Each structure stands twice: as structure tokens, then as C-alpha cells.
Amino acid sequence: MWHVLSGWLGARGRRPPSPLYAIPEGQRVYAVGDIHGLDALLADLLERITADIADAPSHVTLLFIGDYIDRGPASKQVLERLGNLNFPANVATVFLRGNHEQALLEFLADPVARPDWLGWGGEETLASYGIRLHAPDGRLRTPAALAAELDEALAANNHKVFLQSTKLLHRQGDYLFVHAGVRPSVPLHRQLESDLLFIREGFVGRPHGLPCRVVYGHTMVAEPLVLPDRIAIDTGAYTGGPLTAAVLEEEDVRFLQVQGG
């Protein structure tokens, strides 16, 4: 389901003045939206980013907004690709944590309490590691048995370390990058981890009041959304939409996109 977001109007129906948010001079940021196990689309987008970097300034940040796994067929391959990126020395990489990575880690820690992850697309992630839901006799395996096998597979591929090393947020210039959004009017140092990973209704369609422009995924939009205080980049790749990267340089905003077949 698409969530089409609209702006808000100020007094007398006028849009409030837009502050000028900027990435520091000499820097460029590529922020990639929710991937959800679509390795082929990720490979195509990385090719476009690689070509685009050719005329970049001296410092480049390649940032991923989270939700690398689940729903699509190739979560393992996505994590393998992200863990082995090969870019020039002037390209720094930042990996944020999405709610799907958080749910997987919680499932590993307590599969009895968090079996709901399997219904969020976790079954597809298990399949990408060759893990079967059913035992040879046809019985459904327990969450504990599935978690133990997945934990072993993640560790063997160094993917668990990658997932555990993901960040909740990243600041660069006047921009804040998070997976889901922020709680309006709450100072950044008091934001809850659960909001940064999961918030939707309290953030979408409401001015947040923080002195930064928030770039986020999590809530799908039919096309990249640019509003005075936010940019939304989850364009629903796993539902057939494009995979999107926002390109931010000084005060400029543009987008690179790839579409599945």
C-alpha cells in the first residue's frame, strides 16, 4: 500500500518559509532507501552511484537508511554486498539500522518472545540462507530452532557483526538521517530508539520542529518526497516501485533511481 504524503499549510493557507538546509561545502551524500532483500536492484543502483561519484567533491558519504533484509528474496546477498563495498578512499560508508534489522536481532536474542519477525518477511530472509521452516517430517520447526540455525549462518558470514554495528542516526551538516523519523518537538538527545526505528503516525504529516532536515525511509511514498523539513526515500522497491538514492550537495537535492524488470 502506498502512503502518499502531502505538505502542511501555515496561517492563511500559506506554506511556512523554508529554511535553507545544506551539506557542508566540498561534501556530497548519497542516501539509499529501503532495500528489502532486492540484491539485483541494489547492484544496479550502486553502478549508477559509482558513475555519479566521478564528478563528486573531495568527500563523499554513502549512507544506507536501513531495512536491508526481509520481504525480498535475497537478504543474504544484500548483506554480503554491503559488507564488501569497494569504493575510493574518499567515500565513507554509513549503515543505519532499520526496524527489520532490529526485529531480526531481537528474534535471535529471544525467539519465543519475537516470532512475529517471521511474518514481517523473516521467512524470506531464512530462505536466503537456506534455512527451512519445516523439518523433514513436515512439522513446523520451533522459533528457537530457527533462531539457532540463523544465528550460526549469520556468524559464519560475518553478517551478525555487520547488523550489530549499524547506527541509529547520522548527522551531516544541517541534515539528520534516521530510518523511520523523529518524535516532533523532542530534542534529538532525548529521542527514543523505538521512535527512530518505528515511528510513523506521530511523525508523518507533522512538522517536527527540530533544527535540521530529516532524511528517512520506513514509510512508503510513490515518489521521493521533498518537504521543507524532510525528505522521504522509501519508494517501495519490494512492492514494485523503484529503489531510490537521494543525492545531497550543499543546498541541492536530486535523486538516482533504478526500477525492477
Each residue of 211-257: pLDDT tens digit? 999 999 999 999 999 998 999 999 999 999 999 999 999 999 999 99
192, part of any domain: yes
CA distance linking residue 192 with residue 163, whole number of Å = 19
CA distance linking residue 30 with residue 243, whole number of Å = 13
Domain count for the chain, please give it.
Answer: 1
The pLDDT tens digits for 155-204 are: 999 999 999 999 999 999 999 999 999 999 999 999 999 999 999 999 99
User: In CATH, what number is assigned to the domain containing residue 69?
Assistant: 3.60.21.10
41, part of any domain: yes
197, part of any domain: yes
The C-alpha cell at 189 is 538527545
90 in Cβ contact with 58 (< 8 Å):
yes
11, part of any domain: no
101, part of any domain: yes
Of how many residues is the chain composed?
Answer: 261
Q: Is the pTM for the entire model greater than 0.85?
A: yes
10, part of any domain: no
CA distance linking residue 23 with residue 251, whole number of Å = 7
The pLDDT tens digits for 46-104 are: 999 999 999 998 999 999 999 999 999 999 999 999 999 999 999 999 999 999 999 99
> In this structure, what are the phi and psi dihedrals at residue 181, rounded to the nearest 5 degrees?
145, -165
14, part of any domain: no
From 204, 199, 214, select the one nearest 248 (Cα to Cα): 214
pLDDT attached to residue 1: 29
Q: What's the Cα-to-Cα distance from 112 to each of 46, 54, 118, 158, rounded to whole Å?
A: 37, 49, 12, 24
Domain that holds residue 164: 22-207+239-258
68 in Cβ contact with 166 (< 8 Å):
no
pLDDT attached to residue 261: 64
Residue tagged 553502478 (cell numbers): 47
CA distance linking residue 95 with residue 167, whole number of Å = 6
13, part of any domain: no
